[in-house]
């Protein structure tokens, strides 16, 4: 499997387990992402995304999206899109 860097974690909301990710490439619902940092290393499928309060199916470079995550994130963790 290949990985392409697509963004950086900007903020993590601990109580609701949502990471804010500033994108540098396109991300779609259904894509698998790998989040890696000093204390973070896991992969998960993107089930849903939000920009502000609106649900979106696709986001582009420059967008800041909120994604529900299964584990805690840290600012500046790197986000990769996993491709087959």
Which of 47, 45, 39 minimizes the C-alpha distance to 9? 39
| CATH tag, 2-83 | 2.40.30.10
What tens digit of pLDDT does each residue of 22-69 get?
999 999 999 999 999 999 999 999 999 999 999 999 999 999 999 999
**What confidence score (pLDDT) does residue 84 get?**
80
- Whether the model clears a pTM of 0.85, i.e. scores above it, the answer is yes
Q: Taking CA 69 as the corner, what is the angle to CA 37 and CA 84, rounded to the nearest 5 degrees?
A: 75
Each domain of the chain, given as residue ranges in start order, spans 2-83
């Amino acid at each position: 499997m290949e990985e392409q860097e697509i963004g950086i974690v900007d903020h993590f909301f601990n109580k609701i387990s949502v990471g804010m990710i500033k994108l540098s490439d396109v991300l779609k619902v259904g894509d698998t992402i790998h989040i890696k940092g000093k204390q973070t290393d896991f992969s998960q499928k993107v089930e849903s995304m939000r920009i502000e309060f609106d649900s979106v199916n696709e986001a582009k470079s420059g967008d800041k999206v909120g994604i529900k995550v299964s584990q805690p994130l840290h600012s500046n963790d790197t986000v990769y899109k996993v491709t087959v």
